[in-house]
Structure 1
Amino acid sequence: MMNSSENWPEQDLEWLGKCPACGGEHRSQLFAGLRDLAFQVAPGTWTMWRCLGCEAAYLDPRPSENSIGRAYQNYYTHKQPRSAISDRRKRIKIRRQMGYYNAHYGYDFPGAWPFGKFIFKLDHAKASRADYAIRHLPAPSRKDAMVLDIGCGNGSFLLTARDLGYAAVGLEPDGDAVKRGLAAGLDVRLGLLPDSGLPKSSFDYIFLNHVFEHLHRPREAAAEILSLLRPGGRVWLSQPNLNAIGLSLFGEFWRGLETPRHLCLYTCKSLTRVLHEAGFIDIKMLPAEAVAESYFRQSLAMQQGLNPQQTESPPGWEIDGKKQARAADKAAFRTPERGESLAMTARRPG
C-alpha cells in the first residue's frame, strides 16, 4: 500500500503541455490533488486537465512509460482466466445466453435455450451484460477468422473468443499475466501499443477493453491498430466515459478516474476524433453497458475513505446508493453519452 507522504519520483515523470489525444495546447484544470484511491499502490498527487479542443482529459505530469508499471502491483491481470460462455458454474445462465447469441449474433450453439432471446429482449440490463460478455462479436464469417485482444490481462476473453469459433491472440504488458495465459494454453504475447511487433493486416477484430485510457501515445496506438486489421476489419473499444453521470455526482472520487493508471479519458467526441484521424470509418457508439452499480459502489467507498476493493458494501449503499446506480443505468439506456463506460466500434476501409 502506498505511503501518502511519498511522491512519484521526479525523474520518472513526463510533462506534456498539450493533449495526447489531439495535440491541442488550450486547456483548463479539471482536478488537482488526485490520488490513487482505487488500488492504493501509486504514491503522489496528480493534476488532470481538460482539453478545450477535443474535450479529452489527461494527467500532466504523468508517470513515464518506463515507470508506470509500479502502479499495477495489485491489478486485475493476476486472476485465473475464465471463459464467459463455458464457465461450468453458470450452466443455466449460459444456455439462456446462447439462445440470445444464436438469434442476435448468428451463432449456432447446440443445447441453447431458444426462449433465451425473449428473456434478454425484455431485460435491457441482462441483454447489455450478454452483449458485453462477447464484446458484440458476431459469428465468424470464415474458418480462419482471427481476433486480437490488446491488454488481454489474464486471457479470459481469449478463452471466450476461442469458444466462439475464432483464433485468438492476446497482447499484454504484464509478464506475470502473460505466463498465466501461456500456462492456460493461450497465445499471449508480451507487449503493448504502439510498437507491438505484431504482423500487419492480420486480424478481423481487435479489442481494447478498458485499455485505451492507459496508453501513453493514443494517436500512434490508433494508427497501429488500423494497420494490424485486415481491410474491412473492426476495432472495439471500451473505457470510462468522461461524460458519465457518476463523474458529475462523485467528482474526484469517481471510480473511472483511477489515477494515475488512467492517463487520458475520452468523450464520444474526443474518441471519435482520434479514430477518424487514424483513418477509421463507420465509427459508431454502442449502447451503454449496465455497469453503474459497480462504478457507484466503489465511488461511494472511496468518497467515505474506504478501500473500494473490499467485499462489504459501504454505508448507505443498500439504502440509496444502489437505487441511484440503477437510475443512472436507465438514464444511460436512453442517453448512451452519459453512461459510466463508453464503447465504440470503427472499421478499417477496404
Structure 2
Amino acid sequence: MEHLNQSICPACGASSLSTYLTVTDHFLSKENFNLDLCSSCHLLFTNPRPTIDHISDYYKSEDYVSHSSTKKGFVNKVYGWVRSYTLKKKIALLKQLTDGKQLLDIGAGTGHFLTKAKQSGYSVLGLEPDEDARKVALSENGIELKDLSLLHELNQSFDIISMWHVLEHVYNLQADLDKIVSLVNQGGVLIIAVPNYTSFDAQYYKEFWAAYDVPRHLYHFSPKSIIPLVESKGLKFEKMLPMKFDSYYVSMLSEKYKGGSMLKAMRIGFLSNQKSKEGLSSSQIYIFRKK
C-alpha cells in the first residue's frame, strides 16, 4: 500500500509534531501506524496515512460494522441493538436544537439515521462515499444517498448538518470543513460526533484502543482540539454530550484485540462513562451553531 507522510499538522499547519503512540490496524491489515501529536493545537493524527487512491482498500471487509448489513457475531448484534435505541435519542436531540427541518447527514452509511429522520418529518439528504453502503441504503431502507464527492457541488443550505463518527475519516480536513460550515443556515447547527483520545478507556487501552481504528481514522480528536478547530471556521460551540454506549462498545472491541474479557470491558466502559462530566467519555457529541 502507498502511504503519504505529513510534516505539518493538517489542522493548524504547525510543524511541532511528536510520535504519541504506534498502533496496529487490528481490524484488517495488521499494519502499524504512528499517531503524531501536534503540540500547538493538540490534534492527534495518523501519520503516514494511505494515499487517497488506496484509502478505500482499508474498508474492504464485510465485518466493517458501519457499512455492513450483516448481523454476524456477538459484537455486531450488540451494535444493532444499541443503534435502534440511539436513533431515537438522535432524533430527540435534533428536536431540542432547532425547529428547522432541512437535514444533511454526511457519511450516512446505510441510511438508518436518515430513514428515522424522514419518518419524523425531516427533509433529508445523505452523502456517503461507499457505493456498497449506498446500495444497502436503497435496498434495505428505501433511501437514495448521494456520493460524498458531490459535497463541494452543493449550493443549498441546511438547518442541521450531522456527522456521526465521520470527521475522523474525511481526507481533506480543512477544505471539507470549510465547505460544510458554508452549508449551515444562519441559526442552524452542526453536530459532530467523534471518539475522544483523552477518554478514560483510551488512556486505559492505549495502543489497543479500538477507536483509533487506524488507518481508517485519519484524525483523533479531543475537546481541546476539535472545539477551536470548528470555531475557527465561524461557528460557536454550544455544548458537548457523551455517547455512553460507545464506551462499552469500544471497550468490548479493545478487549477483543487484547485477548481479554468482556467482563472487564463492561467495567472499563462503566468507568469511562463515570468520567463523562469531565469530558472524558469514549465519544463526544459536539454542538456548534452559526450565529
Query: Over residues 223-281 of structure 1, what are the superposed CA-to-partner deviations in whole Å (9 max), with x where a residue is unaligned?
Result: 11111122221110001102111111010000110011010111112111211121112
Mapped partners of 2:89, 2:12: distance in 1: 28
- Aligned residue among 111, 131, 136 for 2:93: 136
Q: Which one has the largest radius of gyration?
A: 1
Is 2:17 the counterpart of 1:30?
no
Q: Structure 1 pair 46/345, CA: closer, same or farther in 2 (3 Å)?
A: same
Q: Distance in 1 between matches of 2:183 and 2:241?
A: 26
Superposition pairs of residues 10-29 of structure 1, within 5 angstroms: 12-29=2-19
TM-superposed deviation, 1:64: 1.2
Counterpart-to-counterpart distance in 2, 1:296 and 1:55: 24
**Contact between 1:201 and 1:231, CA under 8 Å: does it hold in 2?**
no
Letter aligned with residue 132 of structure 2: D
Give aligned pairs, total: 275
SS at match of 1:138: helix
Aligned to 1:286: 240
Corresponding letter in the other structure for 1:346: F
Alignment RMSD: 2.4
Q: Distance in 2 between matches of 1:157 and 1:54?
A: 32
Shift of 1:171: 0.2
- Seen in structure 2, the aligned counterparts of structure 1 residues 27 and 158 have a Cα distance that, compared at 3 Å, is same
> Normalising to structure 1: TM-score of the pair?
0.73
Structure 1 regions of 5+ residues with no counterpart?
1-8, 81-88, 98-128, 305-313
Alignment of 1:97-112 (within 5 A): none
Residue 345 of structure 1 aligns with which residue?
287
Among 160, 167, 171, the residue aligned to 2:123: 167
1:326 and 2:270 aligned: yes
Letter aligned with residue 223 of structure 2: C
CA distance in 2, matches of 1:131, 1:289: 13
Q: Is the 8 A contact 2:199 2:272 kept in 1?
A: no
Q: Say if 2:187 is the partner of 1:232.
A: yes
| Cα displacement string for residues 14-41 of structure 1 (whole angstroms, at most 9, x for unaligned residues) | 1111111211110111112x2211x22x
Q: Does 1:317 align with 2:262?
A: yes
Q: How does 1:181-260 map to 2 (within 5 A)?
A: 181-183=137-139, 184-192=141-149, 196-260=151-215
What is the CA-CA distance between 1:201 and the residue it aligns to?
4.0
1:53-132 residue pairs with structure 2 within 5 A? Answer: 53-74=40-61, 75=64, 76-79=66-69, 129=86, 132=89
Cα distance in 2, alignment partners of residues 64 and 267 from structure 1: 25
Which ranges of structure 2 fall in alignment gaps of 5 or more residues? 71-79
Asked whether the 8 Å contact 2:45–2:220 carries over to 1, the reply is yes
The answer on whether the counterparts of 1:202 and 1:230 sit within 8 Å (CA) in structure 2 is: yes
Structure 1 residue 13 displacement after superposition: 1.4
Secondary structure at 1:137's aligned position in 2?
A: helix
- In structure 2, relative to structure 1, the CA distance for the partners of 1:147 and 1:70 (3 Å cut) is same
Q: Which residue of 2 aligns with 1:47?
A: 34
Q: Which residue of 1 aligns with 2:226?
A: 271
- How big is each residue's C-alpha offset from its partner over 1:168-204, in whole Å with a ceiling of 9 and x where there is no partner? 1110000111122233331310125xx6144324211
Q: CA deviation at 1:135?
A: 6.9
Does structure 2 conserve the Cα–Cα contact (< 8 Å) formed by 1:149 and 1:208?
Answer: yes
